[in-house]
Each structure stands twice: as C-alpha cells, then as structure tokens.
Amino acid sequence: MLLEVTNLVKSFGGIRAVRDVSIGIPEGSLSSIIGPNGAGKTTFFNLLTGIYKPDAGTINFDGRSLIGLRPDQVNKAGIARTFQSIRLFNNMTVIENIMVGMHSRLDISLRHTLLRTGHFKRQEQLVHEKSGMLLRFVGLAGKGDELSKNLPYGDQRRIEIARALASDPKLILLDEPTAGMNPQESADAMSLFRKIRDELGVTVVLIEHDMRVVMGISEHINVLDYGQKIAEGTPEEIRTNPRVVEAYLGRRAVGGKADNDSAA
Ligand code: ATP
C-alpha cells in the first residue's frame, strides 16, 4: 500500500465527520471515494493533507506517518491535491499558476535570487521547461500566457491539476474534479486521469459524484456514509451492493448522477 489509513476519527463539535475509517490505497492504482453530501469525503482529504489533525487513527504514506505534518510538509512527502472549488490565482497566467505548484520542490534561497546566481538561473530554466511540459500534458499547449480567469471552466480545472502535478507527487487527490463540467469535458477529464496514472505513474484518488466517471475509470471504490466506510470493492461490486444503493445510489439506474446529489 502506498497509503494506509487506519481507524481515522475527526469530529467538529458534536458532528462526527469521519468515524473510524480505514482505507488502503495501493501504489499505482486509480480509485474513487463516493458517498452522499456530508458523508465526510472532503474531511477525509483534509485529514490526509494536514489541513485537519485527526482525533485518532493513523495515516502512513510511503513508509512514514503523516500525523502532525503541515500541508506543505505533506506535499513535500508526495501528496498533491485539487479542491472542490477552483483555487487559482485569477490574475496570473496559466503558466505562472503551474509554476506556483513547483515551489515545494525548488531549492532557491533569497541570496541566490537576489544575486541571480548560476544556481538560480538553472532552477529558473528547470521551472520553465517543466511547466511547459505539464502544460502540454494536460492539453493546454499554446495557452500558457493567457490569464487563468479567461479560460473556460474545464481548462481551469486542468490548470489546477497541472499545478498539483508540478510538485512531483506520488499520489494525487482530486476533489470532485468534474463538478460543473459538461459531458464532453468530463469524458476528456477521464482520459486525463488515466494518463496521469499510466504515463506519470502517479496514484490517483478521486472524490466524485458523477457515476459515469466513477464507474468508468475506478479500479476500486470506497464508499462513505455519515462518516463511516460502508463498503469497498470493484465498480461492479459497488453498483450491486444493497447498502450502497440504499445510502447513495438510490433507485435510479447507475449510469448518471446519484439521486441524492444536486451539487455535482
Ligand atoms: P460533499 O459531497 O457535499 O462535498 P463531503 O462528503 O465531502 O460532502 P464533508 O465536507 O467532509 O462531506 O463534511 C462532513 C461533515 O462534517 C458535514 O456534516 C459537514 O458539515 C461537517 N464539517 C466539515 N468541515 C467542517 C468544519 N470545518 N466545521 C464544522 N463542521 C464541518
């Protein structure tokens, strides 16, 4: 397992957002976490990435515990993420936004920057080459100098993913990456998620409500409900699991969005 979470607990006052959740993510896998609104999915990501500290439980990643690490330290350890609502610097260009994601991997002191040393110039060159590569990788070649805010929604999501990849993660956590996308954008996004795993070797975990995406690309699915893990399995096992159907998938045939979700 690249990531092994055991008995994770997080409460906010009286709300038990995550209750005793244990999830293992194998290296090189592509999986999803699903569940109704308020099930604890985003809180789970926030616990993994150091935004919240768990009340109890363990989080082991790539051979070390992440408990007590700050978000920047978790990022340095090899986990990158995107957020449910797009968080870009709107008045920066696409390429500048991608460069921001690289800062945790750079080794430039203020002295090097002020003196524009050879080391600084080599790092700067590296940043330009890598951000250009990522721009092409996510399908935004030729758009590097545009302001992020001027790009369509689906492209802005791609910038976020490129920024996350810029930190050279071993694991990328994507929080509702296709929310608000039209069907064509979602289909294109699915290809990108596969490419991230297949070509970059990065392990991918999605929180996702769109069942076409979840069932279409996940090798494994974990299901949360009221902060608890109620099921895990292959798409076929999850699709036919009575408890999951009851809690989340509803009576609607799986293939579209789940009944009880209107936000996705
Ligand atoms: P969605 O699909 O709507 O994004 P989710 O599964 O990601 O939902 P969370 O956002 O993790 O669910 O929320 C789980 C529960 O914890 C909810 O009841 C939510 O209101 C609560 N919660 C989350 N963050 C906080 C917080 N910072 N303070 C108080 N309550 C919180």
pLDDT digits over 5-48, tens only? 999 999 999 899 999 999 999 999 999 999 988 899 999 999 99
Q: How many domains does the chain have?
A: 2
Find out whether 18 and 40 touch, Cβ atoms under 8 Å: yes
Query: Does residue 110 surpass a pLDDT of 70?
Result: no
Q: 208: Cβ below 6 Å to ligand 1?
A: no
> 130 with 161, same domain?
yes
> Quick check: CB of 43 below 6 Å from ligand 1?
yes
Shared-domain flag, residues 107 and 60: no
**CATH code (residue 243):** 3.40.50.300
C-beta separation of 196 from 157 below 8 A: no
Nearest Cα to Cα of residue 171 among 202, 149, 200, 129? 202
**Are 139 and 23 in a shared domain?**
no
**Domain span at 61:** 1-78+170-264
Residues 143 and 249 in one domain: no
Confidence of residue 105 (pLDDT cuts 50, 70, 90): low
Looking from the CA of residue 46, the nearest atom of ligand 1 is: 11
Domain check: are 74 and 175 in the same one?
yes
pLDDT in tens, 180-209: 888 888 999 999 999 999 999 999 999 998
If one counts every other C-beta atom within 10 angstroms of the C-beta of residue 13, the result is 5
Q: Verify whether ligand 1 is closer than 6 Å to residue 257 (CB atom).
A: no
Same domain membership, residue 175 and residue 73: yes
- 130 and 105 both lie in a single domain: yes
Residues 73 and 174 reside in one and the same domain? yes
> Does 178 share its domain with 252?
yes
15 within ligand 1 shell (Cβ under 6 A):
yes
Question: Does ligand 1 lie within 6 Å of residue 38's CB atom?
Answer: yes
Beta strands 79-82; 3-12: pairing state? unpaired
Query: Which residue's CA is the closest to the ligand 1 atom numbered 23?
Result: 43
Quick check: is 83 in a domain?
A: no
Residue 64 in any domain: the answer is: yes
Would you call 68 helix, strand, or coil by DSSP? Answer: coil
Tell me if 253 is assigned to some domain: yes
| 225-242 pLDDT, tens digit each | 999 999 999 999 999 898
Pocket test for ligand 1, best of 15, 44, 52, 173 (most atoms within 8 A of CB): 15
| Domain end marker among 122, 150, 168 | 168
DSSP helix/strand/coil, 147: strand
Give yes or no: residues 25 and 49 share one domain.
yes
Ligand 1: which residue has its CA nearest to atom 25? 12
Indicate whether residue 162 lines ligand 1 (CB < 6 A): no
Last residue of a domain, one of 135, 168, 201: 168
Among 145, 168, 191, which residue terminates a domain?
Answer: 168
How far, in Å, is the centroid of ligand 1 from the Cα of 43?
6
